[in-house]
Chains A and B, each alone.
Chain A
Amino acid sequence: MTSMTSTPPTPLTTGPVAGSPDAAPAPGGVTFDGVVKRYGGQTVLDVARLDVPHRSFTVVVGPSGCGKSTGLRVVAGLETPDSGRVRIGGTDVTDTPPGRRGVSMVFQDFALYPHLTVEQNIAFGLRLEAKHNRRAGPDKAEIAQRVTDACAMLGLAELRRRRPSQLSGGERQRVGLARAIVRRPRVLLLDEPLSALDAQLRQHARAELVRLHRELGNTVILVTHDQLEALSMGTNLVVMNAGRVAQTGVPADVYQRPADTFVATFVGSPTMNLHDVEPRPHPAGGELVGPGIRAVVAGAGLPRRVRLGWRAGDGVLETPTGVSPASERPTDEAPTGPGLTLEGLIDVVEFTGESTVIHCVGPAGGWRASVGSGVAVPAVGERVRLRVEPDKLHLFDTATGLRLADPAGPVAEPVPSLGGVRPDGV
């Protein structure tokens, strides 16, 4: 169940959550209930309700200091919340010691024991388990087998006798992963595991983690500040801001229907363009007008001030290269149709390989549009007109920042579920 409620309530919780909130979740699901953590006088984490579905690959993303790492450490038991309960697989683990939660973690710096070899690092937890629980714990043969399996899974067979100081960054990350998975955790926590790797390795490691999750079939929670990792890796996305959960859902949903202006600008690159506009009555529903900007949308009953957003990739350039501003005249009729029309002068052109990002300035302020690499891009200084289809527009309340009814009309159907995550309640 992917559902979330946070204070203040956001328009995400459009309907009742399937089943009662206390319905027993599957074994590896993680639930936060009114979890608050303060440092000194500062509240760093305040989550009224958060459900991480069993077997999901959940990515928690947010700017630094948003409480995402603290949240992860609360799941691990390395931090104790000041109030609220944490449940794993339906069992309240708030007072369970970290080692008995069935949770393991890969730390940002990998935290390998420097005085132990790779295989001793991996076996450390199992050996302790065997010592603590002589009857039910693993015996020597089982430990050896599980360490061998973990090494094979992560390609560490050749490195078993090395010490962490003799390993590269990527190898250390794999040892950290092996140490975490060898204990067969219900929940695997990853605290920015890719940030210590260089860019080339990072892309490879992203794919490796996704594959590993598929093979293990347990719940994975990954914390990152990188919105690309957030969108590309997970089956479930949690966006955090200032200690609170801003939105949860399938990454594509979050990208397509951001809950507020924070999520809209944080997720996606280049960031969403936002313009303050004033609604006016219009036969089709409503007309949004600002300096140099005009949009017709189906929604009615809009507040007095509206923030209009559109993604850089959703804009379509209407002025082809070489067309003089004077010849634009006929297209001036366009704004009467539904959608957004915007004008501006090209200021900067950025070629990124697959696409070209053009930075424009106009009466509506600065905005960015991204066009495919096949499209001829007008030169710097030229005037361009851009159109965005009504279903690609996002409306937010200027005062609260929250998302308003969809500009294209009735609320769209939820995106089909990915990886067993049902996006009900989002």
Chain B
Amino acid sequence: MPGHDRRPRATAAAVTRHAVLILTVFGMLFPMLWALSASFKPGSDVYGASPLPMPATLENYRYALGEFPVARLLLNTFVTAAGVTVLHLAAGLLAAWSFVRFAHRGQRVVLGLVTVALVVPPQALIIPHFLMVARLGQRDTFVGLIVPQLATCALAVLLLREHIRAIPPTLIGAATLDGATHAETLRRVVLPLLRGALGAVAIVVFITTWNEYLWPVLVAPSPEHTTIQVGLQMFETQEGPEHGPLLAAAMLATMPVVAVYFLASRRIADAFLQSGLR
């Protein structure tokens, strides 16, 4: 804030601005915080108006983990999200590398198609994917759950391509002259330089897959393979909804993703800013 005479007015503006921001953040966080608080409330207190759980109990968590296969569902979700992430990185890296290193005449067309794939909503692919998986006999398997989700790897391809293009070509030339094969250049020179971008792609893909609902509910609805997002509906039992344990399970489903995001949000922002893609 430069200038002494301006200071009071600037402060007033800042106060107003911050008040608006705080209210907005509170509005967004309130349901989350209420759910978090309620998940620690005993029995029918879940419906109570008290903002804090009094007394706090882990009963809901114990019940959710004991009576429902929540642990198994979390494991399924982790396997699915990790599998999809690894496939995205592998396919994205190889495709991006070949786009940059083995540029050819049809490049523009192929690149255009990849870009189009980015724009196609994944929901539009659900039916063809489902038919393919069903006819291959892969319903209710991890293969059927994971592999079709590779169809959305265009983002990884384009983002990594931008990052590989930013590597000076002389660096690749130096590796080539040092006798490195294509694979060695990729592994020993390109890969270490792409760490930030790969991390960003991994986090985005992991979070997206973790939160995916439509595809798992269709292709793998059984508790052995389905994800936590789908599994939460089990709490709508025939005796009525178990809201306390449901909230506890929902918290368990959300926390890993929130943690990952808080640890890495800076890195994601950097990777997207550097690449010029947004």
Does A pair with B?
Answer: yes
Question: Does the CB pair B177–A115 fall under 8 Å?
Answer: no
Q: Which of B168, B179, B184, B192 contacts A111 (CB 8 A)?
A: B168
Q: Which of B177, B180, B184 contacts A105 (CB 8 A)?
A: B177
> How far apart are the CA atoms of A200 and B111 in the complex, in Å?
47
Question: Does the CB pair B193–A107 fall under 8 Å?
Answer: no
Question: Does the CB pair A78–B180 fall under 8 Å?
Answer: no
Number of A positions contacting B (CB below 8 A): 25
Residues of chain B with a CB closer than 8 A to A129's CB: 179
Question: Does the CB pair B179–A105 fall under 8 Å?
Answer: no
> How far apart are the CA atoms of A132 and B183 in the complex, in Å?
13
Question: Does the CB pair B179–A78 fall under 8 Å?
Answer: no
Answer whether residue B94 sits at the interface, using C-beta atoms and an 8 A cutoff.
no
> How far apart are the CA atoms of A179 and B178 in the complex, in Å?
9
Question: Does the CB pair B176–A78 fall under 8 Å?
Answer: yes
Distance between A130 CB and nearest chain B CB, rounded to angstroms: 10
Contact string against B for A residues 167-202, beta-carbon threshold 8 Å, 1 for contact and 0 otherwise: 000000000000100010000000000000000000
> How far apart are the CA atoms of A129 and B189 in the complex, in Å?
16
Distance between A330 CB and nearest chain B CB, rounded to angstroms: 64
Distance between B199 CB and nearest chain A CB, rounded to angstroms: 15
Question: Does the CB pair A98–B192 fall under 8 Å?
Answer: no
Q: Which of B170, B173, B178, B193 contacts A114 (CB 8 A)?
A: B193
- Nearest B residue to A182 via CB reads B178
> How far apart are the CA atoms of A78 and B193 in the complex, in Å?
21
Residues of chain A with a CB closer than 8 A to B178's CB: 99, 104, 124-125, 128, 179, 183
Known: A99-B179, A132-B179. A113 touches B171 (CB 8 A): yes
Q: Which of B168, B173, B180 contacts A128 (CB 8 A)?
A: B180
Contact string against A for B residues 175-199, beta-carbon threshold 8 Å, 1 for contact and 0 otherwise: 1111110001000110011000000
Question: Does the CB pair A111–B173 fall under 8 Å?
Answer: yes
> How far apart are the CA atoms of A359 and B262 in the complex, in Å?
69
Known: A108-B170, A111-B170, A111-B171. A76 touches B189 (CB 8 A): no
Answer whether residue B58 sits at the interface, using C-beta atoms and an 8 A cutoff.
no
Known: A107-B170, A111-B171, A111-B173. A99 touches B192 (CB 8 A): no
Answer whether residue A100 sits at the interface, using C-beta atoms and an 8 A cutoff.
yes
Answer whether residue A314 sits at the interface, using C-beta atoms and an 8 A cutoff.
no
Question: Of residues 46 to 97 in A, which have CB atoms within 8 Å of B's CB atoms?
Answer: 73, 76-78
Question: Does the CB pair B192–A115 fall under 8 Å?
Answer: yes
- Nearest B residue to A73 via CB reads B173
Answer whether residue B21 sits at the interface, using C-beta atoms and an 8 A cutoff.
no
- Nearest B residue to A176 via CB reads B174
> How far apart are the CA atoms of A104 and B188 in the complex, in Å?
19
Question: Of residues 175 to 231 in B, which have CB atoms within 8 Å of A's CB atoms?
Answer: 175-180, 184, 188-189, 192-193
> How far apart are the CA atoms of A73 and B171 in the complex, in Å?
14
Contact string against B for A residues 282-318, beta-carbon threshold 8 Å, 1 for contact and 0 otherwise: 0000000000000000000000000000000000000
Known: A76-B177, A111-B171. A128 touches B193 (CB 8 A): no
Question: Of residues 142 to 185 in B, which have CB atoms within 8 Å of A's CB atoms?
Answer: 168, 170-171, 173-180, 184
Residues of chain B with a CB closer than 8 A to A114's CB: 193
Residues of chain B with a CB closer than 8 A to A107's CB: 170, 173-174
Distance between B101 CB and nearest chain A CB, rounded to angstroms: 12
Answer whether residue A230 sits at the interface, using C-beta atoms and an 8 A cutoff.
no
Distance between B145 CB and nearest chain A CB, rounded to angstroms: 36
Q: What's the interface size class on B, roughly?
A: 10 to 19
Q: Which of B168, B174, B177, B189 contacts A103 (CB 8 A)?
A: B177
- Nearest B residue to A128 via CB reads B179
Question: Does the CB pair B184–A104 fall under 8 Å?
Answer: no
Residues of chain A with a CB closer than 8 A to B188's CB: 124
Question: Does the CB pair B171–A105 fall under 8 Å?
Answer: no
Answer whether residue A109 sits at the interface, using C-beta atoms and an 8 A cutoff.
yes
> How far apart are the CA atoms of A77 and B180 in the complex, in Å?
13
Distance between B108 CB and nearest chain A CB, rounded to angstroms: 15
Q: Which of A98, A109, A132 contacts B177 (CB 8 A)?
A: A98
Question: Does the CB pair A99–B173 fall under 8 Å?
Answer: no
Residues of chain A with a CB closer than 8 A to B177's CB: 76-78, 98-99, 103-105, 125
Question: Does the CB pair A115–B193 fall under 8 Å?
Answer: yes
Distance between B171 CB and nearest chain A CB, rounded to angstroms: 5
- Nearest B residue to A125 via CB reads B178
Question: Does the CB pair B179–A125 fall under 8 Å?
Answer: yes
Residues of chain A with a CB closer than 8 A to B176's CB: 77-78, 98-99
Residues of chain B with a CB closer than 8 A to A115's CB: 192-193
Contact string against B for A residues 101-145, beta-carbon threshold 8 Å, 1 for contact and 0 otherwise: 001110111011111000000001100110010000000000000
> How far apart are the CA atoms of A393 and B141 in the complex, in Å?
89
> How far apart are the CA atoms of A98 and B174 in the complex, in Å?
10
> How far apart are the CA atoms of A100 and B177 in the complex, in Å?
8
> How far apart are the CA atoms of A166 and B175 in the complex, in Å?
21
> How far apart are the CA atoms of A105 and B189 in the complex, in Å?
17
> How far apart are the CA atoms of A125 and B188 in the complex, in Å?
11
Q: Which of B171, B173, B192 contacts A78 (CB 8 A)?
A: B173
> How far apart are the CA atoms of A111 and B180 in the complex, in Å?
15
Residues of chain B with a CB closer than 8 A to A104's CB: 177-178
Distance between B201 CB and nearest chain A CB, rounded to angstroms: 19
> How far apart are the CA atoms of A114 and B176 in the complex, in Å?
16
A contacts, CB < 8 Å to B: 73, 76-78, 98-100, 103-105, 107-109, 111-115, 124-125, 128-129, 132, 179, 183
**What are 13 A-B contacts defined by CB distance under 8 Å?**
A73-B173, A77-B176, A98-B179, A99-B176, A105-B174, A107-B173, A107-B174, A108-B170, A109-B168, A112-B174, A113-B174, A128-B180, A129-B179
Extra pairs beyond A98-B177, A105-B173, A125-B177 (8, CB < 8 Å): A76-B173, A76-B177, A103-B177, A111-B170, A111-B173, A114-B193, A125-B179, A132-B179
In the A-B complex, list the 5 residue pairs whose CB atoms are closest, starting with the nearest.
A99-B179, A125-B178, A111-B170, A111-B174, A107-B170
